[in-house]
Structures are given as C-alpha cells and as structure tokens.
C-alpha cells in the first residue's frame, strides 16, 4: 500500500564506522592489524565514536591536496605546535566518518568545494589528552581530499597557522607521517605498541 513504507532511520554513527572499517581493504598487514584493533575497540565501546569515551574514540582527518597532487594543506595545531593534516572529533550530526572528515576539512581550511574520497587511505592510533590532562587515545581514520584549483585557505581559530606545503619539502615539526600525502599510506603504530 503506498505510503505505508517504514520510515527511513539513518544508521547510527557508531554502526556506520563499524561497517566502514569492516569493509575496508587494508593495503598491508600492519594497516589490517590497526583496522582489526579499531573494530574490536568499537565492539567493546558502544560510545567509541564519541569524544566522551575516555578509553579513546574515533576521529576523522583529511589529507587535502591541490589538484596537481604536489601540495598538501597543513595546519599547525595550537595544543602542540606540530604541522598536521586537517581533522578532528566526530560530531553527533555526522552521518558517516567520511562526512566528519569533510566537515572538519571545510571548517579548518575555509575552502568550499573540497572533494573527499569516501574510502579511507590510512588508519592510525595515537595517544592524546582528551580532555586535557586525561590520557586517552585517538583512533584516526584518514581520507584524501582534493581542493579546487586556485583555492585560498582561510585559517580558523582552531589553528596557529594554515599553509600549502610542497609534499617534497614539508615544514617542521611535522606531527603526522601521513601529512606528506604519500601514495603509499602507512601507520605510525608499530607492532607491540602500547596504544593497540
């Protein structure tokens, strides 16, 4: 009977993240180990997609490249002064982890029209005090985004600086090994890392 279909309910962000990670084809064994850790973490922490999860939580980031792929947009993080890719916490209104990465990239770059590939390029787990003074960890799902030609970034109040950098001559101190936007994604997590 027309109009009697069940209303569409969006998939909760936690479940969307679990599905994304379960279906992601890791490029190597190390990335698959990190992927499996994240899946186990989400299974053990129903609030693992929320910053309120003190044991750790998912975050989303975007390596923003210019159309030529030769420059990457980096932000200098105010808490530790390192140059990193754009990204941050998942918010309740984010439908997916990719949507969170795009929202963060748009907010932090001020560049309209970013195109984000919804397939992750890298996963990383790293320590973070979140909230400040309370050790936790971030489970970062990274995506690749491309800015429109002649894009001019606009620094937000979430950054000390924001700049395009040639991927062969990155600024120091660099906070993320993936900020170089290499074509061979890798994680800084090493086997036996206490964060996994």
Residue 130 has pLDDT above 70, yes or no: no
Distances (CA, A) of 68 to 62, 107, 146, 167: 17, 22, 9, 11
The model's confidence at residue 176, banded by pLDDT at 50, 70 and 90, is: low
Strand ranges in the chain using DSSP code E only, listed in sequence order: 57-65, 71-76, 83-84, 86-89, 115-116, 122-129, 135-146, 161-166
Q: Which residue has the higher pLDDT, 6 or 183?
A: 6
The answer to whether residues 145 and 117 touch, using CB atoms and an 8 Å cutoff, is yes
List of domains in the chain = 13-180 (3.90.79.10)
Report the candidate in 13, 20, 29, 8 with the shortest Cα–Cα distance to residue 187.
29
Q: Where do the H-state alpha helices sit in 49-189?
A: 97-109
pLDDT recorded at residue 177: 55
- Which of 82-86, 119-123, 160-164, 172-176 is the least confident region? 172-176
Residue 187 has pLDDT above 50, yes or no: no
pTM: 0.84
Tokens of 146: 């491309």
The model's confidence at residue 82, banded by pLDDT at 50, 70 and 90, is: confident
Residue 83 neighbours by CB distance under 10 Å: 22
Average pLDDT estimate for 96-101: 97
The conformational region for residue 181 under phi > 0 = left, psi -120 to 50 = alpha, else beta, is: left
The answer to whether residues 74 and 178 touch, using CB atoms and an 8 Å cutoff, is no
């Amino acid at each position: 009977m027309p109009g009697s279909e069940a209303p569409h309910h969006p998939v909760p962000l936690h479940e969307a993240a679990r599905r994304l990670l379960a279906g992601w084809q890791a490029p190597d064994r190390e990335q698959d180990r990190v992927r499996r850790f994240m899946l186990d973490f989400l299974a053990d922490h129903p609030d693992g997609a929320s910053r309120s999860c003190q044991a750790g939580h998912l975050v989303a980031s975007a390596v923003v490249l210019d159309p030529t792929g030769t420059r990457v947009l980096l932000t200098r993080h105010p808490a530790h002064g390192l140059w990193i890719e754009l990204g941050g916490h998942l918010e309740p209104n984010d439908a997916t982890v990719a949507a969170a990465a795009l929202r963060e990239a748009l907010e932090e770059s001020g560049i309209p029209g970013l195109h984000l590939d919804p397939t992750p390029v890298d996963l990383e787990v790293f320590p973070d005090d979140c909230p400040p003074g309370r050790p936790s960890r971030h489970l970062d799902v990274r995506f690749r985004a491309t800015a429109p030609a002649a894009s001019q970034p606009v620094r937000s109040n979430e950054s000390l600086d924001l700049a395009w950098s040639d991927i062969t001559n990155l600024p120091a101190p660099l906070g993320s090994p993936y900020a170089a936007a290499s074509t061979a994604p890798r994680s800084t997590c090493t086997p036996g890392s206490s964060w996994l």
